[in-house]
Amino acid sequence: MTVISNQEEELAKAALQSGTMKFYPQTALQQAGGGYSSNQVPFTSNVVMDRELLTGAEPGVGARRGARILKRLK
């Protein structure tokens, strides 16, 4: 699966309105035994498919995810 990376969370900390991060999604996923996949460049889209599960992280992932869904349906 893919989620926002710990590195991206650290880079985005300044944008938090208030409060602190209670956990990092990447760390939580890995601790729960999930397989984690990351993008190579922070804040770029990343799509991962494992059998029927398709996950994507980052705001611009919609087009890439849609293309993967269409490819899978063909």
CA dihedral 9, 43, 40, 28 (to 10 degrees): 30
The larger pLDDT score, comparing residue 45 to residue 32, is at 32
**Tens-digit pLDDT profile for residues 33-43:** 988 888 888 88
47: helix, coil or strand? strand
Name the residue with tokens 């710990």: 6
**Tens-digit pLDDT profile for residues 57-73:** 776 778 888 888 888 88
- Size of the chain, expressed as the number of residues it contains: 74
Contact between 47 and 2 (Cβ < 8 Å): yes
